[in-house]
Amino acid sequence: MKWIKEELNRLKEGNLYRSLRALTSPQNKEITINGKKLINFSSNDYLGLAKEFHQECGKWGSGSGASRLVCGNFEIHEKLENKLAKLKKTESALLFPSGYMANVGVISTLAGEGDVIFSDELNHASIIDGCRLSKAKIIVYPHKDVDTLEHLLSRERKNYRRSLIVTDSVFSMDGDIAPLDKLFKLKNEYDSILIIDDAHATGVVGWSSFELFSLIPDETTIIIGTCGKALGTLGAFVCGSSLLREYLINKCRTFIYTTALPPFIACQTLKNLEKVPERMKKLQSNIEFFKNLTGINSQSAIFPFLVEDEKSALTLSRHLYENGFFVPAIRPPTVKKSRLRISITSEHTKEEMEQLYKLLNGD
């Protein structure tokens, strides 16, 4: 196993080594690491709901005991699915234990040999892995480049049985938003299925990224969301037609062959959904404030602060840590260019955002 040690040493030398930090506090705006209290500007807990816990949900116990198709399908699962489908304006929804499993499962179930997938170059790793597992032809188009995508569709679509266009709505490292209106038009023109990963949009830009474009999902639209970000719990959901839900229940390996999401998590998610509208308004106000403060033109709660190299990212992150702020360095291969990924929540105060900005600029 000498090669493992050598590879780890190479990561350390290149400022790419990663290690775990253990929190001794609940997830919140303020967290504690190694006894040090820090203002957290790195979490995906955009609405501050991760710390919520309703005693009522304890009646469901701590686990589901089996897959949904055996005896792990609870009434509370289906209640949450119905609620999520309504919020996303689709016929139905289906819960998965994680966003990774949802993306990998849906893409590899709907596409196979003889099919083609058009994927944005900055899509999340779970989308990339789902494309690879599908064994379909993968065509990566430049980030948000609709003109190039249309050219590729016109040239390639006719050569394949089925076609999927797959994209994040809010991109997790840059905070920008895909041109969903144009992608929606292209999927209709080229007889394709449009798959949207709404992970960082749900509860942030609205209930759905489609709201930004006044779009209504149709039978060839699939929206994938997560409960583990703004909704504050765990798991993911696939929203689409009733026919799609039926098909995934019967064919999707990451749904069929896994233990179901614990029912108390579904219960807690339903409770958290009640608090989303009010907190979303506060979050959007904070996003606008931080945008004006920094000049970073983010369209979401994610603000990339780009730096020169990996070492600079680590140095700046350490400087913030020493001054009471937690913003980890994000480095390759997660991103091409190193940065600090700042995430704004509804819990942050203007004073905290101003103090962070001063520290980022060396004050």
> Which amino acids are annotated catalytic?
172, 200, 229
Please name every residue paired with 158 in a beta bridge, in sequence order, or none if there are none: none
Alpha-helical segments (H) within the chain: 2-13, 75-88, 99-110, 125-134, 146-156, 180-189, 242-251, 253-256, 263-273, 276-294, 310-322, 350-360
Sheet bearing 30-33, strands edge to edge: 30-33, 36-40, 325-326
End-to-end Cα, the chain, rounded Å: 46
Beta strands 302-306 and 236-240 are unpaired
Handedness of CA 248, 250, 256, 260 (dihedral sign): positive
Q: How far apart are CA 199 and CA 236, in angstroms?
A: 9
Q: Which residues contact 324 (CB under 8 A, 6 or more apart)?
A: 36, 37, 38, 39
Helix (H, G, I), strand (E, B) or coil at 154: helix
- Of 137, 108, 74, 68, the closest CA to residue 253 belongs to 108
Token pair for 125: 């790793």
Handedness of CA 293, 330, 30, 276 (dihedral sign): positive
Cα 170 versus chain centre, distance: 8
Which long-range contacts does 355-361 make (Cβ < 8 Å, 24+ apart)?
355/325, 356/39, 356/41, 356/320, 356/325, 356/327, 357/290, 357/293, 357/294, 359/319, 359/320, 359/323, 359/325, 360/305, 360/316, 360/320
Cα angle for residues 303, 231, 248 (degrees, 5° grid):
110
Q: How far apart are CA 307 and CA 341, in angstroms?
A: 11
Question: E strands along 15-72, which residues?
Answer: 30-33, 36-40
